[in-house]
Amino acid sequence: MRTSDRHLIRGFPIFRGVSDTLFERLVARAEIHDSQPGEVLLTEGDPPAFLFVLLNGLVEAYSSHAGVDATLSFIRPPGAFIVAAVWTGQVQLTSVRTVQTSRILRLPAEDVRAAIADDAAVASAIGLELAIRYRDIMRELKNQRMRSATERLANWLLLESEVAGSPTFRLGIGKGLLAARLGMAGEHLSRAFAILRDHGVTVAGNEVTVERERLADFARPSVLMDGQDI
Amino acid sequence: MRTSDRHLIRGFPIFRGVSDTLFERLVARAEIHDSQPGEVLLTEGDPPAFLFVLLNGLVEAYSSHAGVDATLSFIRPPGAFIVAAVWTGQVQLTSVRTVQTSRILRLPAEDVRAAIADDAAVASAIGLELAIRYRDIMRELKNQRMRSATERLANWLLLESEVAGSPTFRLGIGKGLLAARLGMAGEHLSRAFAILRDHGVTVAGNEVTVERERLADFARPSVLMDGQDI
DNA sequence: CGTAGCATTGATGTGGGTCAACGTATGTGG
DNA sequence: CCACATACGTTGACCCACATCAATGCTACG
């Protein structure tokens, strides 16, 4: 691994508070992998070979069962994925594929497990990442159980606009994928957008403009379901 | 805390590999609480005051939003709950209430956080618990997204029968609660049971008998969605 | 300028929610 | 021991969110 890469990743939350010695030990056999959209990084049912850290890009956790496909979550930098599988040593529950061109750090699972067992700072930092992932999925489950598809879209738009820091922004992803992410059919997404026209949303291709107040009245966002940790 | 209680909890997975010194430090300000069905143990939106460990009984994580209530998960012994909120120090995402008479250990959140920061064995053990919770919720999300309500019921019954080690067993909980747990209305649960009569399920009040093979043909269980970690 | 994706629109089907009525237990007090 | 109340489960009628299938439009790109 190049020194510049080493510098880049040293600052990642997954290494927060970790001593130089431990960092070197963790990174010794690590690899950085550049990945194109659509590349499958790991497959559900396999035992975890690496802990993955997303340096930049966007990645999708998904699953197939009995002919049904579902998108379960997106991971964005500086998040890590399959932390839980690495920690328990059990088989992975989801597959993961690249959505946007991404740069990914892979740490051999056994090295990670050894470091966790040895060092409180490592365990603490990776545990924090795991806790963030947990809360992410929990919010997703709540979102799924307690809101209609249109409400889910409304809250997604609200959050995107907030992250963009502007009422006008572009969807970073295709509408098909957005529909999957929100757990609805592509056709239904079109109709949901149509409904939201009455609640302060204007769509032009990939560009969306929202009147936040009006949309929020409809969406009823909640920090306990939207938002995101750190 | 009494010595007998101290002995009981010492063996719990959450303390696996933890030194006597750390154990004593963690337990110094801990309390054991006996709780009746229906008691609310903690409320979503509050900051975590304790890490909870379920010694015995059954407990339900749930949430309310905009007039909608949802049951999100059950925790059974020797599981812990709100691990993620304690780890991050952020507000709790769910409320938790007792379903069956339960005995619960409460460890002050700050003590837990301090111990995690200090000691790899503690961080490792509590992180493992968190990983198990993560995988639990992930399976639940998959279950929700990729199966119909009737399929969810079928797989629940299959799993219960397996845990009971017998094709005949009693539902440990009321049907109303079971419906909530499976994310469906009580009325629909009745109909789902009716459908499953054609697939090897016989119900008599609280007692269920399943022909496993036939039911499995319908339910199509998967270790990546059913089952449960340790 | 066709052809290959995507996205929208329309028609129709269905899983599952909701409301209401009706059982079926398990009490409780007369 | 019966009459009645309360809680819980079932059944039926109806409705709606959302899926599915099919046709059409839109943009892009060789």
Phi, psi of B209 (to 5 degrees): -125, 135
3-state secondary structure of B230: coil
Average of per-residue pLDDT across A11-38? 96
Q: Which residue out of A16, A46, A60, A65 would a mutagenesis test of the B interface target, given it has the greatest number of B Cβ atoms within 10 Å?
A: A65
Of residues A63, A87, A141, nearest to B140 (C-beta): A141
- What domains appear along chain A, each with residue ranges and CATH number? 3-144 (2.60.120.10), 147-226 (1.10.10.10)
- Residue B120: the pLDDT is 97
Residue A222: both structure tokens together:
């909640």
Q: Parallel, antiparallel, or unpaired for β A95-108 and A50-65?
A: antiparallel
Nucleotide at minimal C1' distance from the B205 CA? D9
Q: What is the mean pLDDT of residues B202-211?
A: 94
Please name the member of B70, B120, B141 whose beta carbon is closest to the beta carbon of A119.
B120
Task: Categorize the per-residue pLDDT at A4 as very low, low, confident or very high, splitting at 50, 70 and 90.
Answer: confident
Q: In the A/B pair of chains, how many CB contacts fall below 8 A?
A: 171
Instruction: Please give the mean pLDDT across all residues of chain A.
Output: 96
Determine contact: A117 vs chain B, CB below 8 A. Answer: yes
Q: Where are the alpha helices (DSSP H) in chain A?
A: 3-10, 20-27, 83-88, 109-118, 120-146, 149-164, 175-181, 186-196, 212-219
Residue B229 has pLDDT above 90, yes or no: no
Tell me which DSSP letter residue A167 carries.
S
Interface residues, strand C, Cβ cutoff 7 Å: A 174-176, 186-187, 189-191, 193-194, 203; B 148-150, 183-185, 187-188, 205
State the Cα–Cα distance between residues A107 and B140, nearest whole angstrom: 28
* Cα B161 to Cα A135, B136, B207, B210, distances in angstroms: 31, 19, 11, 8
CB-based contact B155:A65 (threshold 8 Å): no
The per-residue pLDDT for range A157-205, each reduced to its tens digit, is 999 999 999 999 999 999 999 999 999 999 999 999 999 999 999 999 8
Residue A218 clears pLDDT 90, i.e. is over it: yes
B38/chain A closest Cα distance in angstroms: 21
Over residues A116-161, the pLDDT tens digits come to 999 999 999 999 999 999 999 999 999 999 999 999 999 999 999 9
List the single best residue of A19, A74, A146, A152 to mutate versus B (max B Cβ within 10 A): A146
Structure confidence at residue A227 as a pLDDT band (50, 70, 90): confident
> Does residue B78 have a cis peptide bond before it, meaning omega lies within 30 degrees of 0?
yes
Q: Which of A153, A159, A164, A163 is nearest to A199 (CA)?
A: A153
Cβ-contact B182, B156 below 8 angstroms: yes
Across A29-55, average pLDDT: 97
Write down the mean pLDDT value for chain B: 96
Q: Which of B162, B185, B165, B166 is nearest to B175 (CA)?
A: B185
Percent of chain B at pLDDT > 70 equals 100
**pLDDT for res A1:** 80
pLDDT of A224 above 80: yes
Residues in Cβ contact with A63 at an 8 Å cutoff, skipping those fewer than 6 apart: A44, A69, A70, A72, A93, A94, A95, B142, B146, B224
CA B4 / C1′ C21 distance in Å: 54
pLDDT for A53: 98
Over range B25-46, report the average pLDDT: 96
In tens, the pLDDT along B147-205 reads 999 999 999 999 999 999 999 999 999 999 999 999 999 999 999 999 999 999 999 98
In whole angstroms, give the CA distance from residue A72 to residue B145: 8
Closest residue in chain A to residue B93, using alpha carbons only:
A224
State the distance between the two ends of chain A, measured CA to CA, in whole angstroms: 28
pLDDT for res A159: 96
* Confidence band, pLDDT 50/70/90 cuts, at residue A230: confident
Asked whether residue A188, judged by its CB, lies under 7 Å from any atom of the DNA or RNA strand D, the reply is yes
**Strand D nucleotides, any atom under 7 Å to a protein CB:** 8-13, 17-22, 27
